[in-house]
Structures are given as structure tokens and as C-alpha cells.
């Protein structure tokens, strides 16, 4: 297990997240792409995972509606996968969402994103729906976790 440090970072540190994004996702995107998606959102959240101070993963989220916090993206660079880092990121995001008073954490993923589906099922998420994504012409699975019991 990698035992990463999970830290909340600000929008000013987004350039480092763009580098991570482009190591994980295709097509590559620029800072403006991430900024635009987070702009104007309630409770935008950027989590960074570091191992020995090196950034190795990230998660981005924001409020979807008052009951629901949306995890938009989560990624871990290939060399650090299967070491529990995404689990740590998800755990931190869930804890923060619960503390902020949300009932549900939601994310969406394609059927082909099998590692994410495995991770989500392992963490107790339910598949609650499917929606057609006109950008990709593919279906997205909608997954949710009830976090209301995690509030302290």
C-alpha cells in the first residue's frame, strides 16, 4: 500500500493537476478546460494525492445539488495504480462531503472504465441509473453512495 498524503489544494495549483490529468486521460486538456468546469460551482474540491511529495493522483468534485456532491474525475498515474491511492482519494472526498452535510456522493463512468467500476463496487456504491452521453455517443453508469451516516 502506498499510503499517500491526500491534500486539498486551491485553484492556483490547478496547473499541476492538468499535468496529472494528461497522464491519465485522453484527449489531453488544458487548464482552461478544468477551470471552466469548476467555475461558478458551489464547493469546488480539488484533492491531490502525493507519495514522497510527488503528485500521483487527483480527484475533482463539486456540488451537483444541495443533497449531492459530484465526483467529476478521479485519476491515478499508471505506475502507482493498485496501491490504494484512488481508494484514499475517494475516502477523503466522501468524508469531506459527509462533513459538509451532503447525503449522497455521485459519480458517473463508462462501462469500459472497469477499474473504476470495481473500485466503486468495493467501496459500496450502488448503480442508480444510466444516461446517454451525447458527447461520446456512449452510455454512462450513474453510481451513488449514501454518506449521511458518516457525519460526526
Ligand X SMILES: CC(C)(COP(=O)(O)OP(=O)(O)OC[C@H]1O[C@@H](n2cnc3c(N)ncnc32)[C@H](O)[C@@H]1OP(=O)(O)O)[C@@H](O)C(=O)NCCC(=O)NCCS
Question: Binding segment for ligand X among 61-69, 75-83, 96-104, 137-145 (CB under 6 A)?
Answer: 75-83
Mapping DSSP onto H, E and C, the string for 32-53 reads HHHHHHHCCCCCCEEEEEEECC
- Choosing from 15, 19, 36, 122, the residue that interacts with ligand X (CB under 6 A) is 122
76 binds ligand X (CB under 6 A): yes
Please give the Cα distance from 94 to 124 (Å, whole number): 12
Residues with Cβ < 8 Å from 127, sequence gap 6 or more?
141, 142, 143
48 binds ligand X (CB under 6 A): no
115 binds ligand X (CB under 6 A): yes
Beta bridge mates, 126: 144
- Choosing from 29, 37, 41, 81, the residue that interacts with ligand X (CB under 6 A) is 81
Question: Binding segment for ligand X among 27-35, 39-47, 73-81, 142-150 (CB under 6 A)?
Answer: 73-81
Question: Binding segment for ligand X among 32-40, 94-102, 109-117, 125-133 (CB under 6 A)?
Answer: 109-117
Q: Is residue 22 within a helix (H) or strand (E), and if so which, with residue range?
A: helix 14-24
- Choosing from 47, 48, 85, 104, the residue that interacts with ligand X (CB under 6 A) is 85
Here the cell at position 87 is 481508494
- Choosing from 36, 65, 118, 131, the residue that interacts with ligand X (CB under 6 A) is 118
The one-character DSSP state at 7 is E
Question: Binding segment for ligand X among 5-13, 30-38, 118-126, 132-140 (CB under 6 A)?
Answer: 118-126
Please give the Cα distance from 121 to 100 (Å, whole number): 24
Helices (H), strands (E): how many in the chain? 4, 7
Q: What are the residues binding ligand X (CB under 6 A)?
A: 24, 73-76, 81-87, 109, 113, 115-116, 118-119, 122
Amino acid at each position: 500500500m502506498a499510503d499517500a498524503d491526500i491534500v486539498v489544494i486551491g485553484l492556483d495549483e490547478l496547473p499541476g493537476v492538468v499535468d496529472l490529468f494528461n497522464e491519465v486521460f485522453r484527449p489531453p486538456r488544458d487548464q482552461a478546460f478544468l477551470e471552466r468546469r469548476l467555475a461558478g460551482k458551489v464547493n469546488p474540491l480539488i484533492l491531490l494525492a502525493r507519495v514522497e511529495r510527488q503528485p500521483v493522483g487527483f480527484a475533482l468534485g463539486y456540488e451537483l445539488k444541495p443533497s449531492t456532491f459530484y465526483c467529476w474525475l478521479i485519476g491515478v498515474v499508471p505506475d502507482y495504480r493498485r496501491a490504494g491511492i484512488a481508494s484514499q482519494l475517494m475516502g477523503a472526498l466522501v468524508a469531506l462531503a459527509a462533513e459538509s452535510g451532503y447525503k449522497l456522493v455521485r459519480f458517473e463512468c463508462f462501462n469500459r472504465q472497469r477499474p473504476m467500476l470495481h473500485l466503486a463496487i468495493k467501496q459500496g456504491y450502488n448503480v442508480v441509473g444510466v444516461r446517454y452521453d451525447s458527447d461520446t455517443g456512449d452510455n454512462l453508469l450513474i453510481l451513488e453512495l449514501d454518506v449521511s451516516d458518516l457525519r460526526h
